[in-house]
């Protein structure tokens, strides 16, 4: 398996892979930070070129996991490493609770410790469902959505692609959030939000549109 990234979030991905007993042939990829060591934790090789990644996919393991948090970067890397021959892999913690009825989880989505995903939920590709998040019944998350720790998405909400929901934010039932939306930490969203905006506060108010 190749973890894309070798900094903060990638280390959290490593812990879940370790818990899942899936660290054979595990390497990291980081072509952004030249100061990174050759190995992470003096154990896991960090490769630094696209050619090395292609060789890893060809000769060892096609699977890759997104180890970066930003939705736009996740999308770019997802598409890049598919073209390089990789197979995007969903990583779901054993400590997460995922419903067993009518749940769809897209390729390359990460679901971290103590997240709760209810029944009749659809999650797109490349999403990040962080620690202690809650997605209740009949919700739909678009591709590359990021839910920060403690975020709560209540029934029948729809969240557009590449949107970011901040830590401990709450989205009330039946809300529609557009694409490329940022909801600030601790916000409570009581009304629909259009594409390409930032909303903060209780209740959440739009402070920026772009």
CATH of the domain at 191: 2.160.10.10
In terms of DSSP H, where are the helices of the chain?
8-19, 50-59, 71-83
Stretch 174-191: mean pLDDT, rounded? Answer: 98
Stretch 178-197: mean pLDDT, rounded? Answer: 98
CA 18 – CA 33 distance, rounded (Å): 24
Q: Are 112 and 94 in contact (CB under 8 A)?
A: no
* pLDDT greater than 80 at residue 192: yes
pLDDT of res. 32? 85
Domain extent, residue 25, equals: 2-89
**103 lies in the same domain as 66:** no
Query: pTM (2 decimals)?
Result: 0.94
**54 lies in the same domain as 105:** no
Stretch 96-109: mean pLDDT, rounded? Answer: 97
Mean pLDDT score across all residues of the chain = 95
User: Containing H/E element for 176?
Assistant: strand 176-177
pLDDT of res. 25? 85
**Among this protein's residues, is 94 annotated catalytic?**
no
Task: Select from 73, 89, 105 the last residue of a domain.
Answer: 89
CA 155 – CA 61 distance, rounded (Å): 38
How many structural domains comprise the chain? 2
Pick the catalytic residue: 137, 156, 176, 205? 137
Task: Select from 67, 89, 111 the last residue of a domain.
Answer: 89
**102 lies in the same domain as 59:** no
């Amino acid at each position: 398996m190749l973890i894309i990234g070798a900094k903060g979030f990638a280390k959290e991905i490593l812990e879940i892979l370790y818990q899942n007993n899936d660290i054979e042939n595990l390497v990291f990829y980081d072509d952004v930070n030249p100061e990174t060591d050759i190995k992470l934790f003096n154990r896991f090789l960090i490769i630094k070129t696209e050619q090395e990644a292609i060789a890893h996919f060809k000769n060892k393991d096609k699977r890759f996991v997104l180890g970066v948090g930003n939705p736009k970067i996740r999308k770019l890397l997802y598409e890049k490493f598919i073209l390089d021959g990789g197979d995007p892999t969903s990583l779901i913690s054993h400590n997460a609770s995922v419903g067993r009825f009518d749940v769809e989880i897209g390729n390359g989505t990460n679901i971290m410790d103590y997240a709760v995903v209810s029944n009749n939920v659809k999650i797109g590709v490349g999403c990040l469902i962080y620690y202690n998040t809650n997605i209740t019944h009949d919700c739909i998350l678009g591709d590359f959505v990021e839910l920060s720790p403690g975020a709560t998405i209540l029934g029948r909400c729809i969240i557009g692609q590449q949107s970011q929901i901040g830590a401990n934010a709450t989205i009330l039932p039946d809300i529609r959030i557009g694409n490329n939306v940022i909801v600030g930490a601790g916000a409570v969203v009581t009304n629909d939000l259009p594409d390409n905006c930032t909303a903060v506060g209780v209740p959440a108010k739009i402070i920026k549109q772009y």
